[in-house]
Each structure stands twice: as C-alpha cells, then as structure tokens.
A and B are shown apart, each in its own frame.
Chain A
Amino acid sequence: MEASRLIYMANQIARNFAPMGVEQAALATADHIKMYWDPRMIAGIRAADAAELTPVAAHAIRLVDGPVPHMTRATEFAGAHADGAAHNDAG
C-alpha cells in the first residue's frame, strides 16, 4: 500500500498520543497499530522510509514486533474488567 499514506497515518496517531511523553506515546502508538492495522499495512510501513516518520512514530514502528502492553486500553480484553464481569464485554 502507498507508503506515504501509511506514514501519514502513523504520524497522526503518534501526534495524538504526544502528551503522554515520548516513551509512553511510542508504546501507545505501537499498541494502536497492532490492534487496528492489517498485516500488509504493518509490513508496508516497516518497508517504508523511516526518515519520513516523526521520532515517536519511528520508535513505535520498531516496537510493533515485540510484546506491547495495552496502552490505550480501548483494546482491553473481555475477561480483564475490574468489575469482574468476566467475559461480558458490555458490562
């Protein structure tokens, strides 16, 4: 897929997490990409020219391979709710 578009998207995500600070924002961006991007998009951005990425986004792309904690928590899984409503995603 067109690299410029993927780069634009990654930079945009990173920019919106920016207030978390560099390290956290990179983790959140990596988590977000893992959770919402199709594999060919991830492959596409890995192959793209990293110079176009902002520092946070570039760092995030390096993290995507490894285990990433669920930073945004929009992606927390069913059983994990603190209220014990196991497997009930909706409450």
Chain B
Amino acid sequence: MGYEPQADFGTPASTSEKLVTLTIDGRSVTVPEGTSVMRAAAECGGDIPKLCATDSVKSFGSCRLCLVEVDGMRGTPASCTTPVMDGMTVHTQTPRLQKLRKGVMELYISDHPLDCLTCSDNGDCELQDNAAAVGLRDVRYGYNGDNHLGLEKDTSNPYFDFDPSKCIVCSRCVRACDEVQGTFALTIDGRGFGSKVSAGLATDDFLSSECVSCGACVQACPTATLQEKAMVEIGKPERAVVTTCAYCGVGCTFRAEMRGEQLVRMVPWKDGKANRGHSCVKGRFAWGYANHQDRITQPMIRKNVDDPWQVVSWDEAISYAASELKRIKAQHGARALGGITSSRCTNEETFLVQKLIRAGFGANNVDTCARVCHSPTGYGLKTTFGTSAGTQDFDSVMDSDVILIIGANPTDGHPVFASRMKRRLRQGAKLIVIDPRRTDMVKSPHIEAQHHLALQPGTNVAVLTAMAHVIVTEGLADEAFIRERCDWDEYQDWAAFVSQERNSPETLEPVTRVPAEELRGAARLFATGGNGAIYYGLGVTEHSQGSSTVMAIANLAMVTGNIGRRGVGVNPLRGQNNVQGACDMGSFPHELSGYRHISDVETRKLFEADWGVTLDSEPGLRIPNMLDAALDGSFRAIYIQGEDILQSDPNTHHVAAGLKAMECVIVQDLFLNETANYAHIFLPGSTFLEKDGTFTNAERRIQPVRKVMEPANGYADWEVTQLLANALDLGWTYTHPSQILDEIARLTPSFAGVSWPRLEREGSLQWPVKDETHEGSPIMHVDGFVRGKGKFVVTDYVPTDEKTGPRFPLLLTTGRILSQYNVGAQTRRTGNTAWHPEDLLEIHPTDAENRGLKDGDWVKLSSRTGETTLRATITERVAPGVVYTTFHHPATQANVVTTEYSDWATNCPEYKVTAVQITPSNGPTDWQEDYNSWSERSRRIVANLTAEAAE
C-alpha cells in the first residue's frame, strides 16, 4: 500500500434506509436521506473544497469555503450543512463559486505563516491543498495587518505540539474532542478575530488540562497547528500498512504510517469495525517501547539465577533449552514440564505454544494470563449460555437504552469503547454503575449515572442477587422470554431462591452498604427501561466468587429478556489485546482450541491424527497450581512466552519461591521483565510491528496483524517457538502464520471459515464462522442459546475469607489507569510516563485524617502477605474504609500484598479484595530494597565471552 490519507467525505455517513437521488455537476447520485450535499459529491468522486468539515464530526458551517449553487435555491449554501433532497440539482464548480472561495482563502492565508516549505505538514496540509484547489496565487491584503503569527507553541504533551499561530479556528479539534472522544477538553475562547483554541483554563497547557491525549483533535486538524512530534522529527510517511493495536481488548485497527522501516505515526483506520477511526493514547502514541534501548535482541543463558546472563547464539540458546527440557522429562516425566501462552501474542503464536506443550512436552500443563483475569468469564458464560465469550459487537451499544457497568472502568481500561458508550449516553441512554469507586463514568461532562451503587468490595453476588430479588418479586421478569428460551424448571428454582427474604436489598444492605432504595431503583430501571446491556470487567472476575458473579450477570440478562438482539447482552470487557484469542486457542490446561475438554475422545482423536502424537487425556496444572507443584518438586520446567507472572500474579513472594524452585525457566519477552530475574534461558521476543498474525478482540473479532518492519531479534515469536519445537524433534515446517491459521480452522469448528485470504478481503471476522460462506456472528444466541436452553444458576453469596479486622481494617482494591498498560513493561518505556510516573494509593479523607496523612505522603501498605510503600493521594472517589491502587510499576509491587485467595471455580486470584492497613512511612520497605538489589544483580549481562576474547 502506498501512502495516501484515507478519503475524507466531509460529514459523517447517514444511517437512514431511505434513499434520495440528486444530480451533482451533471452526475446522478443516490445516497441515504440525511446525507450532506458535500458527502454526496465526495461519494460520486467529486471534491468540494472544505476547511471546517471532516467526516469524523458533525458539520459546523463556519469557513464558507464549501459553498455550492443549487438550482431553485437562492444564494450559495454551504454544502456541508445542506442535506440532499430528491431531485436536487447541484453545481459545485462555477466561476461565481470560484471567486467566492478565492476570497475566503485569501482571508485565511493573510493570517497564516507562509513557511510552507519548511512546515512539517508540507504536503499533508488541507489549507495548502485548498489554496491550490481554489487557485489562490496572491493575497491582496498583504501580511502586515493584525495577525496571530508569533504565538507561543505548547509542547507540553509528549506526543503532539499545539502551534496556535497556524490555527484557522475551524473548531474541528473542539468537535472531535466533544463528539468523538467525549472529553470536552477544548474550547474556543473569545470571539471573532480574537478567538482561539484553548485547552481548558487560561493557565492550562495540554498536559495539565483534562486532555487524555487520544489524538482525535490531532487527526481532525487540517493544518499543522495540532501535529504529532514524530512528523516534525521524522518527516512525512511514504507508505501505510493496516494493522491491529497490541494493547487492549478493544482491538483498534490502525494505519501504521511508515517512512522506510521507521514508524512515523499510527493513524486509526476509519474502516476498523472495532474503533471506527478512533483510538486512545496507548495505541496511537505509545509505541516507542518497540525500539527502546532496554529491548533485548540476543538470546542469553545462565546455569544459575545468581549468575550474570551470558549472550549466546540462537543455536546455542535453543539447543540448551531443548537439552534441559529433555533431561528433566527423562528424569521426572512429562508432567513436570509446562508453559504459559501470552495474551499479547497472536492467535497463531498462542496456538503453537500450547501445541508445543501438549504435543512436544507431552503434558497439558499449559495456562495463560487469562487465568488471572477472565477465566471466570469463560466458566460462567459457558455454563449459562454455552459459549465462553461476550454476546455483542461494540456497535450494539448504540441501540442500548439502559447500560449497566459493573466492576469496569471503561474510560481507563477500554477508552475507545468508552467514547462510543459515552456518545450513546449523551443521546439519552440511562446508566447504572456498580463499583466501589466513583469512576469517571459515574460523572463526567454531559454524563451522569442514574444510579451509582457504591458497594463494599467483595459483595457483587449479593448486589446482583438483590437486584434479581426486586425484579422477580415485583413481577418485572420477562416470563415470555424465559419460557421460550430458558429451562423453565431451573428458572423456577432460581426465582424461588432469589425471592427469599434473605436476598432482599433491605436484608443485604448491611453487607453490601448499598442503600436498598437505590438498589431497587436500579433494578427497576434495568428491567423496564428498554434494551438493557451489561458491561463488566475485572472488578467482577477477580474475586473469590468471580464465576458466580458472571453467572449472576447472565441470570440478570435472561430474567429481563436482554439477550439475542442488538442493544442488549452480556459483555465482558477483555483486558489484554488477545486475551479472548488466547482462551479460544486452547491455552487452558483442560481444553483444546474452541473450548473442547481434553477428556473428550472424539476431539482428542482429531488433534492426535493431525499432529501425529498421543495426547495426555487428563487436565494439566493451572498457573497457581504449577507454582504450588514446583515447591513440592513435581513441576520443574516452564516456557513462558510474553508474560510477566512475577509482577502480574498475586502474592509475589509465593510466585518468586515457585519460580526459584524450578530447574529450567525459559522466558521469551521483549525486555528482561521481572520474571526473567528467575530465568535460566532468555529468548528475545518480537513486537506486533514485526510479525503477521491475528488478534481476537473482546467482541470475538478476528483481525489481522501485519508486519511492517523486520524483527529486531531476527525472528517473530512463532518462529522462536518453532525453533524450540524442532530442537525437540517435532519437525514443524510453517513458513507463514497463515498456515497455522489454516490448522486452527481445520481443528476448530468455530474458526472453520477463517483464513488469511478471507481476512485480507473482509478486514475482520467475528467467530463463530462456521464455513467459508458464513459471514460470522456479530450477535450471539439470536435464535436460541448455544447450549440449547439458557440455564439459570443459583448463585449463593459466600463472603470472602479475606476479612478486615483490627490489624487490617481497610479493604484494598486494585485497578488500572488510562495511560499505563498492565504491568507497564511497554508503557513505562514511552512518553506515557508523563501522566503516571508512579503508582499512587487513593484513600478517603476520613481514613487519611485518622492516620495523620497528607496528600503526597509516603505510606506503608501492609496485608497478611506482605508490605510495600507508595505515595498517598487523598480523594473522595473511594468510600471510607476502601483504598485503591494500580499495579503498573515494579518498584511498588502491589502484588506483594495481594493474597492467594481465588475464585472457587477457576482459581482466578482475588485481586480486588485485600484487607490492609495504612501507616505513615518514610521510605521503601526491606522487601523493596532487597528486591531492587537482587533485581539489579540478576539483570547483569556479560557479552559473549568468545567474541570478547577475539576482539
């Protein structure tokens, strides 16, 4: 693909089904009613000059450059604000229009610096293009009058500059921030000639303002006023490749705009069905980690984790790894070996890792980081509906009337989807938020939740059961739906259970701390407010009753008939970019790809025939079980691709002890992550920019990832796995990930119709895709549940065993923030640290006062498992008795304090509830200091000895 910006149709597409036919410059064109004349002209290949219109935002009609003549209409209407009408005859290029447009351009240019030749936007500037298009040759007013030249540049944002002297006050940026992003950070201050764009208060620059650096304004700006710093530094791109973001489960697609092998910028792709041309700060800007100096590009080994690392050749590293694996297998049996697949790697890579473990190691000890996030979703939704995945596509939210968000913070965790949700809320949909914290969704510009149920952490099941109690006892259940779609007997058992007085909001109020009337109001709204959609995140799953909560959510959707059409459904907001895919690909120890149990003879036979091996028929160990088994000597070798379990998994001490007990730890990653401190073999990984493959996002959408540059380490991750497999004599011969995808399709019914050529053609596919002709499944359970009848499951509230008491009186809950991603290995190595240089502890003013704490004080955070220090920030976002922090920075090691309690069904750790105490502190704990010195020691690298000797 060469480099041309994507076509701009000037105004957004109309969704009307009614068609209108008109004539533009003698050409007949048919478009949906509500389309602007400007867009209709663009759709039939015309090009009306424009400055203040762009198709990501509503038209505004301020620049007067897009004037047209319409037969029978007086004057020269602006084409961007004039809707098409049947039989209209439009002229877009007449001498009169040319003259008017020239005049308009002249005024703009007289107030604009004429440094086109040296401007970084040269060749990519709409002002320049339009001046040429209207034939402007000369400016009559001269350049000496009043102007805005020489205003100071705002360079505070790490990724883009704001140069007001180039601003033409078209307000595209303001509208993009309002309509596309929904942050309302920008305003036009002043009037007429004095007007200018500003980020909030006069004293604010971009960095200190409300701006979340999504880049929508930069993309909308027609001039060089708002522009990526990289464009200034590197220059204009010369080719573009469409690929998928490797950060979160929204799965935004981007045009990676390149200059040679250098990435210049990531521009959200308008045809991306997940993001529709929008993005967040991570995907658009935070890709600097890809070539960060910390990246390790050569393999390394060491006998002992106390030794320094030794750089070796690929051959040496792979054969050492293989010999260790063979030795341990011979001595201790196949079940002493295992591995972890990565939710950041592609489907193809994940599939290969689990294949290597099952077919090569000969054990089912394979797990993935979904264990610590969404494994309860898999269990809960499979039990109730029959499929381990969300039911809707993202577009569905535009048809929702009531949105219920529970345990999720979409503006931070899933920002691009949050923008879409906010747009729907501004259109009038109602909002219920169930969260211990007052998240940004609860109240933000032009949005306010009808009900915020600020529950006590750990009481999700009680709150949802109480909502069900209200719905059933007040006769609000959708019995027609239930009779038709669900098992009626099971429903009646369930209804009898929830109707018990002990499940009423009044009885449960002391436990949940949610005022009963508020809860009743929320339940009534959800049951009667029209299309109800539930969105949830890790605040649901990471509890000792995570799976029960997922099932309680499913019950709520079924009892109100909110399943099987647009605007409704149960939607897990998946954390990592490919966590859905990693689960689909058979990364769990008990199941093969497509969620088929390993003990199923038929399924096993299929794989055994294809792979030419015999598979173990018993489930393997899950991550926490692997660590336990390491301590008793029955688990000794692990291959970890792209995961940092030491930092991301609970109870760091226990993880460290487990890893330390193993004889062979192989880590494949971009950086020497925290887990690598305990590794014996380090295999350098590749970034998403360096390989082909597919990711599957939270809406089950399979999207291509495309290679834009050569891997800095020499191999894509799937190639590294193949090297290891072949050193274990597996004889793999893949030359491109598309062949792995074919194998997945051959062995997995829900992927049967997926292939690389088809993805190239169609952009993306939502599984299940039953065969080559099936178009995929945006909405699930339309005509019936996958499991047949929907299953109501009685979810009894069982309080967690992690309890507060005199020693640990506060409840800690953890989360993430927008600018950082997970353990931060990537985002900490980008300009995003401007927003989140350290993890902070949020504490309520009352709790802070009781402890004599001031904002910004160092505090010690201690629990039954450990202690750490960090700085406090005092806020009413959290309720009294609750504290909150993130886990993005290894220096904090928030997981030193989290416990090993976990979900009863899946062992997903209970990150969201830990009893803690907060006390003033004056510096890092012993553990932090010990760990830092150990980690520095463990990261020492000696160069290749033989190479050094030769020098």
In the complex, are the beta carbons of B777 and A91 less than 8 A apart? Answer: yes
Minimum CB–CB distance from B569 to chain A (whole Å) comes to 14
Q: In the complex, which residues of chain A have a beta carbon less than 8 angstroms from the beta carbon of B71?
A: none
For the complex, give the distance between the alpha carbons of A89 and B621 in Å.
23
Minimum CB–CB distance from B611 to chain A (whole Å) comes to 18
In the complex, are the beta carbons of B788 and A1 less than 8 A apart? Answer: no
Q: Which listed residue, B596, B618, B749, B781, touches A39 by the CB 8 Å rule?
A: B618
Chain A interface size range: 35 or more
For the complex, give the distance between the alpha carbons of A1 and B796 in Å.
29
In the complex, are the beta carbons of A38 and B796 less than 8 A apart? Answer: no
Q: In the complex, which residues of chain A have a beta carbon less than 8 angstroms from the beta carbon of B780?
A: 91
Q: In the complex, which residues of chain A have a beta carbon less than 8 angstroms from the beta carbon of B430?
A: none
Q: Tell whether A1 pairs with B596 under 8 Å between CB atoms, given A15-B904, A81-B786, A91-B786.
A: no
For the complex, give the distance between the alpha carbons of A13 and B906 in Å.
10
B278 interfacial contact with A, CB 8 Å = no
In the complex, are the beta carbons of A77 and B596 less than 8 A apart? Answer: yes
Nearest residue in B to A14 (C-beta to C-beta)?
B904
Q: In the complex, which residues of chain A have a beta carbon less than 8 angstroms from the beta carbon of B548?
A: 16
For the complex, give the distance between the alpha carbons of A82 and B590 in Å.
23
Minimum CB–CB distance from B455 to chain A (whole Å) comes to 20
Which 6 pairs of residues, A with B, have the shortest CB-CB distance? A82-B788, A90-B750, A91-B786, A88-B749, A90-B768, A74-B383
Pairs A–B under 8 Å by Cβ, sample size 10: A1-B625, A38-B629, A75-B597, A77-B603, A79-B602, A87-B749, A89-B387, A90-B749, A90-B786, A91-B386
In the complex, are the beta carbons of B497 and A19 less than 8 A apart? Answer: yes
Q: Tell whether A89 pairs with B595 under 8 Å between CB atoms, given A72-B383, A81-B386.
A: yes
Q: In the complex, which residues of chain B have a beta carbon less than 8 angstroms from the beta carbon of A83?
A: 784-786, 788
A50 interfacial contact with B, CB 8 Å = no
* Highest count of chain A CB atoms <10 Å: which of B589, B603, B619, B750: B619
Residue-wise interface mask of A (40-66) relative to B, using a CB-CB cutoff of 8 A (1 in contact, 0 not)? 110000000000000000000000000
Residue-wise interface mask of B (742-770) relative to A, using a CB-CB cutoff of 8 A (1 in contact, 0 not)? 00000001101000000000000001101
B594 interfacial contact with A, CB 8 Å = yes
Chain A residues at the B interface, C-beta cutoff of 8 Å = 1-2, 5, 9, 12-13, 15-16, 18-20, 32, 35-41, 72-79, 81-83, 85, 87-91
Q: In the complex, which residues of chain B have a beta carbon less than 8 angstroms from the beta carbon of A91?
A: 386-387, 750, 768, 777, 780-781, 786
* Highest count of chain B CB atoms <10 Å: which of A38, A73, A82: A38
Q: Which listed residue, B599, B785, B796, touches A19 by the CB 8 Å rule?
A: B796
In the complex, are the beta carbons of A37 and B786 less than 8 A apart? Answer: no
Q: In the complex, which residues of chain A have a beta carbon less than 8 angstroms from the beta carbon of B595?
A: 89-90
**A19-B796, A77-B596, A91-B386 given. 18 additional CB < 8 A pairs?**
A5-B628, A9-B904, A12-B544, A18-B796, A35-B597, A35-B619, A36-B619, A36-B906, A39-B618, A41-B621, A74-B382, A78-B749, A85-B786, A88-B770, A89-B595, A89-B749, A90-B786, A91-B786
Q: Tell whether A73 pairs with B787 under 8 Å between CB atoms, given A1-B632, A89-B595, A90-B768.
A: yes
Q: Which listed residue, A16, A73, A79, touches B904 by the CB 8 Å rule?
A: A16
B545 interfacial contact with A, CB 8 Å = yes
For the complex, give the distance between the alpha carbons of A13 and B789 in Å.
25
Minimum CB–CB distance from B770 to chain A (whole Å) comes to 6
Nearest residue in A to B620 (C-beta to C-beta)?
A38
Q: Tell whether A16 pairs with B798 under 8 Å between CB atoms, given A75-B597, A77-B596, A89-B750.
A: yes
For the complex, give the distance between the alpha carbons of A63 and B628 in Å.
25
Q: In the complex, which residues of chain A have a beta carbon less than 8 angstroms from the beta carbon of B603?
A: 77-78
Nearest residue in A to B385 (C-beta to C-beta)?
A91
In the complex, are the beta carbons of A16 and B625 less than 8 A apart? Answer: no
Chain B residues 571 to 607 lying within 8 A of chain A, measured CB to CB, are 589-590, 594-597, 599-600, 602-603
Minimum CB–CB distance from A84 to chain B (whole Å) comes to 9
Q: In the complex, which residues of chain B have a beta carbon less than 8 angstroms from the beta carbon of A40?
A: 335, 629, 634
B791 interfacial contact with A, CB 8 Å = yes
B418 interfacial contact with A, CB 8 Å = no
For the complex, give the distance between the alpha carbons of A5 and B651 in Å.
15
Chain B interface size range: 35 or more
In the complex, are the beta carbons of B787 and A2 less than 8 A apart? Answer: no
B631 interfacial contact with A, CB 8 Å = yes
In the complex, are the beta carbons of B750 and A77 less than 8 A apart? Answer: no
In the complex, are the beta carbons of A2 and B600 less than 8 A apart? Answer: no
Q: In the complex, which residues of chain A have a beta carbon less than 8 angstroms from the beta carbon of B383?
A: 72-74
Minimum CB–CB distance from B700 to chain A (whole Å) comes to 8
Minimum CB–CB distance from B387 to chain A (whole Å) comes to 5
Q: Tell whether A1 pairs with B749 under 8 Å between CB atoms, given A83-B788, A85-B786.
A: no
Nearest residue in B to A20 (C-beta to C-beta)?
B794
B160 interfacial contact with A, CB 8 Å = no
Q: In the complex, which residues of chain B have a beta carbon less than 8 angstroms from the beta carbon of A2?
A: 628, 631-632
For the complex, give the distance between the alpha carbons of A41 and B627 in Å.
13
B905 interfacial contact with A, CB 8 Å = yes
Q: Tell whether A77 pairs with B597 under 8 Å between CB atoms, given A19-B497, A83-B786.
A: yes
Nearest residue in A to B769 (C-beta to C-beta)?
A90
Q: Tell whether A90 pairs with B594 under 8 Å between CB atoms, given A77-B600, A78-B603, A81-B786.
A: yes
Q: Tell whether A13 pairs with B787 under 8 Å between CB atoms, given A1-B625, A38-B589, A88-B770.
A: no
Q: Which listed residue, B596, B634, B794, touches A89 by the CB 8 Å rule?
A: B596
For the complex, give the distance between the alpha carbons of A78 and B749 in Å.
10
Q: In the complex, which residues of chain A have a beta carbon less than 8 angstroms from the beta carbon of B631?
A: 2
B254 interfacial contact with A, CB 8 Å = no
For the complex, give the distance between the alpha carbons of A32 and B785 in Å.
23
B682 interfacial contact with A, CB 8 Å = no
In the complex, are the beta carbons of A38 and B621 less than 8 A apart? Answer: yes
For the complex, give the distance between the alpha carbons of A18 and B798 in Å.
10
Chain B residues 778 to 817 lying within 8 A of chain A, measured CB to CB, are 780-781, 784-789, 791, 794, 796, 798
B365 interfacial contact with A, CB 8 Å = yes
B379 interfacial contact with A, CB 8 Å = yes
For the complex, give the distance between the alpha carbons of A85 and B716 in Å.
36
For the complex, give the distance between the alpha carbons of A74 and B590 in Å.
12
In the complex, are the beta carbons of B750 and A88 less than 8 A apart? Answer: yes
Minimum CB–CB distance from A50 to chain B (whole Å) comes to 20
For the complex, give the distance between the alpha carbons of A91 and B906 in Å.
23
Residue-wise interface mask of B (611-643) relative to A, using a CB-CB cutoff of 8 A (1 in contact, 0 not)? 000000011111001001101101000000000
Q: In the complex, which residues of chain A have a beta carbon less than 8 angstroms from the beta carbon of B796?
A: 16, 18-19
For the complex, give the distance between the alpha carbons of A79 and B634 in Å.
35
For the complex, give the distance between the alpha carbons of A79 and B786 in Å.
12
For the complex, give the distance between the alpha carbons of A85 and B768 in Å.
11
